[in-house]
Amino acid sequence: MPTTPPSKPDIRGRIEIEQLVNAFYERVRRDEILAPIFDEVAETDWVNHLPKMYAFWETVLFRTGNYCGNPLAAHARLVALTDMGRDKFDRWLTLFTTTVDEHFSGERAEHIKSCATDMANVIYSRINQVPDPRFDPANLSEEQRERYSRYRETPGASS
């Protein structure tokens, strides 16, 4: 009798965030396009970077991660050192969504992919100072409108 494969869990909290971030950066570090940006250009200290990313995603998903950094500045400084073009961001997103889908499914899994897509578009267009052709406010979903209005209300959030 055919068996149905067990469905994957959703992201429930910190444990799953750490699992996702670890699996994602293992992929990044094996990737021929992205790995050199971390290892050769930024000379990333992974012992610092991984906990920062746990806090970042925990803050995005659950607002409890105590992340206080500046993602735009962190990527803007790379533009002077290497090409941070659309192909790099598309690659980043492919690896991120593949990793999410490999481990998780559910509402939060969908939400984190949608947040990552939005942020990749914003970071890419802001650091390269080009308009994002895919970003048209008229096309925002109700969920995005609601989420963006909460970003603007967050005290101390950068624009």
> Which stretches of 31-133 are DSSP H helices?
35-36, 46-62, 71-79, 86-103, 107-128
- Closer residue to ligand HEM, CB minimum distance, 105 or 128: 128
If we measure between CA atoms, which residue out of 9, 11, 7 comes closest to residue 115? 11
Q: Could you say which of 23, 34, 76, 140 contacts ligand HEM (CB under 6 A)?
A: 34
- Closer residue to ligand HEM, CB minimum distance, 17 or 84: 84
16 token code pair = 């799953």
For the segment 35-64, give every residue that binds ligand HEM (CB under 6 A).
Answer: 37-38, 42, 44, 49, 52, 56
SS3 state at 17: helix
Q: Does 71 bind ligand HEM (CB under 6 A)?
A: yes
7 token code pair = 């469905």
Q: Could you say which of 12, 69, 101, 146 contacts ligand HEM (CB under 6 A)?
A: 69
For the segment 92-131, give every residue that binds ligand HEM (CB under 6 A).
Answer: 92, 116, 119-120, 123
